Amino acid sequence: MARSKLIHNYLSELEIYLSRISEVQALEVVQEIESHIYEALSLRESSENTEIKSILAKLGTPRELAAGYIEHITIGVAPPKGLKPLLKFKKGVSRSFYYLVYTIGFGIGFILVVAAMLKMITPSLFGVWYAEHGNSLVVSFNQSDYSAQEIPAIWLAPISAMIGTGILYLTYKICRILKRHI
């Protein structure tokens, strides 16, 4: 490969990897590295490809070199002082979100499982009824309204228990993930 081609390829690749910083900054970096390569080359006795390759090797691959320039973007510089309260706030939000999910998830799951168990233990006292000609559902102890029609427990209890257990399991999983982030 011609020597200028080697250098050209290196610099174009470098420019691609520098796309995270502004175009003006990237161009300046490329110009500086280009200047360095030719300057280093002029100090060598020959300008064989092996010489160019050794100069380029000392710079590292274009990707490695670019990484040094964009490190502050990818890793992130320390946040300015004013940002601290904001971070705390964000942390606070995720903490309360965790408790919210925890409470609602375990609450609903627990109620559904308990309801299913109650129906199995005291079938006559607890149940779900259609009321007002099917316009609403009533879940209660000892429904006394005779116009209401009970939904058979053979369907409801297992479904309630299954959904409840599912919600409990899901909440447990979600809370474990959330806990890692607060």
> Does 65 help bind other proteins (rule: CB under 8 A)?
yes
87 sits in which H/E element: helix 84-121
- Work out which of 12, 27, 47, 60 binds other proteins, going by CB under 8 A: 60
| Token reading at 22 | 């502004």
Q: Report the alpha-carbon distance of residue 89 to residue 115 in Å, rounded.
A: 38
Alpha-carbon dihedral sign for residues 19, 21, 25, 29: negative
Under 8 Å CB-to-CB from 170, ≥6 apart: which residues?
Answer: 105
Minimum gap (Å) between residue 41 Cβ and other proteins: 10
- Work out which of 23, 39, 48, 145 binds other proteins, going by CB under 8 A: 39
- Measured from the CB atom, the residue of 4 and 136 that comes closer to other proteins is 4
Q: Report the alpha-carbon distance of residue 109 to residue 163 in Å, rounded.
A: 7
- Work out which of 38, 99, 155, 169 binds other proteins, going by CB under 8 A: 38
> Does 52 help bind other proteins (rule: CB under 8 A)?
no
Q: Which stretch binds other proteins (CB under 8 A): 63-71, 94-102, 131-139, 166-174?
A: 63-71
> Does 47 help bind other proteins (rule: CB under 8 A)?
no
Q: Report the alpha-carbon distance of residue 14 to residue 34 in Å, rounded.
A: 11
- Alpha-helical regions (H) of 122-152: none
Query: Do residues 176 and 123 lie in contact, with contact meaning Cβ atoms separated by under 8 Å?
Result: no
> Does 17 help bind other proteins (rule: CB under 8 A)?
no
> Does 79 help bind other proteins (rule: CB under 8 A)?
no
Per CB under 8 A, residues contacting other proteins are 28-29, 31-33, 35-36, 38-40, 43, 58-60, 64-65, 68-69, 71-72
